[in-house]
Structure 1
Amino acid sequence: MDLAYELHDLVRTLDRQADKILADFGLNYNRYVALVIISEHPGLTGRQLAAGLRISEPSTSAIIKHLLGHDLVSDISPAGSGHVRQLATTPAGLAVKEAATTSLGNSLDNSAAAAGIDPHHLAHTIRTLHTHLRSSNPG
């Protein structure tokens, strides 16, 4: 069994399942993550959001347009600030984010528990590995 393959396959499976769950909220995974990031960093610009999402600015612009169009985020930039948007979640956006977060979290926690795995222990193990990988110099 290859750990790297298993982790990549797990992430792909989780992404597909997350997209199915998030469709009920009118979101896909990138839109959901954008909503989470914006809710945690009010006033964030599109460029900053693109960096956080690790996708291109044009792709991020399409996500922002969708979120703005569905009243999930608003542009809070002061008048005269040019075409740079500063984003914040709307009350509707916060409600959607909370409901989607609950659905995603419950789904994975329930799946782990059904497989005989303690979800909190698994989360701690994954966080430890991820922290180590981000702090080490891959060689």
Structure 2
Amino acid sequence: MDLAYELHDLVRTLDREAERMLRPLNLTYNRYLALEIVGEHPGVSGAQLARALGITEASCSALVRRLIADGLAADLAQKGGGNVRRLHLTENGELLRGKASHALGGPFDDVVRRLGFDPLRLAQTIRSIHDELKNG
């Protein structure tokens, strides 16, 4: 058994399951991730959001336009500041973010608990591995 492959396969499975679970909320996984990132980092720029999502700035711009059109996010950039967006979630965006987080987190945490693991400790372990790989 190869750890790297198992982690890769787990991520793919989680992504597919997340898409399925978010569908009733009219969200894609990328839109959900954007809500999470903007919610955690109010004032994030479109370019920063694109990097965090791992998508092109053009794709991110389309995603942001839709979030704004749907009333989930707003651009607080100062007038005359160029094309840089400063994004934050609206009240509706925060509400949807909470619903989506609950829809995703609860079932996954339940699976982890059924297997005898503590979700918080597992998350901390995964974060430590991730940080070490990122920062070397």
- TM-score over 0.5 for the pair: yes
- Aligned match of 1:78: 78
Query: Over residues 54-85 of structure 1, what are the superposed CA-to-partner deviations in whole Å (9 max), with x where a residue is unaligned?
Result: 21101101210221121100122233334432
2:118 corresponds to 1:118: yes
Aligned residue number for residue 32 of structure 2? 32
Q: C-alpha separation between the residues in 2 aligned to 1:76 and 1:128?
A: 34
* Counterpart residue identity of residue 79, structure 2: A
Shift of 1:10: 0.4
Structure 2: which amino acid aligns with 1:41? H
Query: 1:5 — aligned with what?
Result: 5
Structure-2 separation of matches of 1:110 and 1:49:
30
Letter of the 2:132 partner, please give it. Answer: H
State TM-score, norm by structure 1.
0.88
Deviations 1:79-119 (A, max 9, x none): 33344322111000000001111121111100111223222
Helix, strand or coil: the match of 2:88? strand
> Aligned letter for 2:66?
H
Q: Which residue of 1 aligns with 2:95?
A: 95
TM-score (norm 2): 0.90
Alpha-carbon spacing, 1:121–1:48, altered in 2? closer, same or farther (3 Å) = closer
**Secondary structure at the counterpart of residue 44 of structure 1:** coil
Which structure 1 segments of 5+ residues have no match?
A: none
Deviation at residue 51 of structure 1 after TM alignment:
1.8
- One-letter code aligned to 1:65: R
1:46 aligns with 2:36: no
- AA aligned to 1:85 is R
> 1-side partners of 2:34 and 2:66: how far apart?
11
Shift of 1:129: 1.4
Distance (Å, rounded) in 2 between the aligned partners of 1:22 and 1:29: 7
Aligned residues: percent identity? 47
In terms of mean alpha carbon deviation, does 94-103 or 19-28 score higher?
19-28
Deviation at 1:120, TM superposition (A): 2.4
Uncovered stretches (5+) of structure 2, i.e. residues with no partner: none
C-alpha separation in 2, matches of 1:109 and 1:24: 20
The secondary structure found in structure 2 opposite 1:24 is: helix
Q: Which residue of 2 aligns with 1:58?
A: 58
